[in-house]
Amino acid sequence: MKLSFSAEDESFRTEVADWLADNLTGEFAKLKFRGGPGDEHSFPEERKRWEQKLAEGGWTCVGWPQEHGGRGCSIEQQVIFFEEYARAGAPGRVGHIGEGLAGPTIIAFGTPAQQAKYLPGILSGSELWCQGYSEPGAGSDLANVKTKARFDTERNKWIINGQKVWTSLAHESDYCFVIARTDPDSVAHKGLGFFLVKMDQPGVEVRPIEQITGTSEFNEVFFDDAECEADDIVGAPGDGWKVAMGLLGFERGVSTLGQQMQFQNELDEVIRVAKANGRDRDPAIRQRIAQAHAELKIMRYNSLRMLSGQSGSDGSLQGEALIYKLFWSTWHRTLGELAIDVCGQEGQLLEAAPYELTRLQSLFLFVRSDTIYGGSNQIQRNIIAERGLEMPREPKWR
């Protein structure tokens, strides 16, 4: 790990912390520690306004190059921003898919016209994005997508038909980046396109999926002759897999440190409850808390190793990044189990109608999904074996 913070970086840390302290007030004070996975239903309109407040202060897209409207922050300063953001209890970002995934992908692979069209809305916090990858028959196996895109020469537009599922925040989004098959005879990762699709149009229908937590941050999205402008395909037809894999590399960027600060906030809440109800005196619970603390530190050190290594501008993954999803999702699921055990019998009860879950009850239920979405644990192990250990896909048995 080569990541270290200079005096200039620490001055930047103070600037970030001071701005957050000054602005997480008034109508935004109630947003502290709210939002994010498992809590996306909380204060959606206020969090949209918070995105625009961040933009006014120059705190969106801090890692984007200055020529594209960002601050051009170093890796160290980006780490500081995400850490201080989570430490301040600032709300889960409704613009994170645009800022962290769509924007960097358009910068890396898009045309100047696409960059001029889409980046300003992400920077200003006024346009939100969702991710059109998973389908009913293509979840962890992304190369199995069936959604099709054909080019209509008369309308000079791409026409998209198919279904996406588990689409986070689709009901709040203005745009969706969609993986669709441009060659109907193609199989696996060949013949795919990466499209930038407007959500507010007659050919797009969003249906919320109610989760075990009673909330609906995931959605089904149906494309029925949805239109996409001719020049809103990123790269050429057939380049979709390359662009999609580049995007997944950006997903494992500096925001991982902010994610870990959110995990720390959750662990702190578990410890607070354990101290309040006396469960901290149980040796087994104390050991599990200590293990969660130690593994969270390991997660941080691996992320620092990942961030301080060589990385491509196209989002290509390093070896260290291959294990990240498997590690954090398993850790988070285990934290949820610890949380409900710390709550004891009270964790099995809801006080009264409307029977809203406590923070730790919601954590316990929601983290079951962590080891499934974004590539299940089984798929992650296959990727590690094939790309990290360079094992053959099909073992040759003697």
pTM over 0.95: no
Q: Please report, rounded to a whole number, the percentage of residues in the chain having pLDDT higher than 90.
A: 64
Q: Where are the alpha helices (DSSP H) in the chain?
A: 7-23, 44-56, 75-87, 96-97, 103-109, 112-124, 240-251, 255-277, 283-308, 319-322, 324-343, 359-366, 377-383
Q: What is the mean pLDDT of residues 260-289?
A: 94
Q: Which of 40, 135, 251, 266 is catalytic?
A: 251
Q: Specify which of 5-9, 113-117, 189-193, 300-304 reaches the highest per-range mean pLDDT.
A: 113-117
pLDDT at 274 over 90: yes
How many degrees, rounded to 5, is the angle at CA 54 between CA 53 and CA 56? Answer: 65
Which pLDDT belongs to residue 397? 45
Confidence of residue 398 (pLDDT cuts 50, 70, 90): very low
pLDDT at 326 over 60: yes
**One-letter identity of residue 66:** Q
The encoded tokens of residue 223 equal 């494309």
Q: Where is average pLDDT lowest: 167-171, 322-326, 362-366?
A: 322-326
Q: How far apart are CA 388 and CA 16, in angstroms?
A: 37
Report pLDDT digits (tens) over 39-57: 888 899 999 999 999 999 9
Report pLDDT digits (tens) over 107-155: 999 999 999 999 999 999 999 999 999 999 876 677 889 999 999 999 9
How many degrees, rounded to 5, is the angle at CA 9 between CA 5 and CA 15? Answer: 140
Chain centroid, CA 379 distance in Å? 18
**How many CB atoms neighbour CB 192 within 10 A?**
27
**CB-based contact 108:315 (threshold 8 Å):** yes
**One-letter identity of residue 374:** G
Question: 283-308 vs 324-343: helix axis angle to the nearest 10?
Answer: 160
Taking each continuous run of H as one helix and of E as one strand, the counts in the chain are: 13, 8
Whether 27 is catalytic is no
Exposure pattern of 201-227 as b/e (b: 16+ CB <10 Å)? eebbebeeeebebebebbbbbbbeebb
Residue with tokens 């109608």: 353
What is the DSSP code (8-state) at residue 98? I
Q: How far apart are CA 390 and CA 327, in angstroms?
A: 19
Long-range contacts of 198-206 (CB under 8 A, 24+ apart): 198/174, 198/227, 198/228, 199/130, 199/170, 199/173, 199/174, 199/175, 200/174, 201/226, 201/227, 203/160, 203/227, 204/176, 206/167, 206/170, 206/171
The answer to whether the bond into 354 is cis (omega within 30° of 0) is: yes
**CB-based contact 242:315 (threshold 8 Å):** no
Q: Which residue has the higher pLDDT, 1 or 17?
A: 17
Chain centroid, CA 186 distance in Å? 29
Which pLDDT belongs to residue 351? 77
Q: Which residue has the higher pLDDT, 306 or 179?
A: 179
Which pLDDT belongs to residue 394? 58
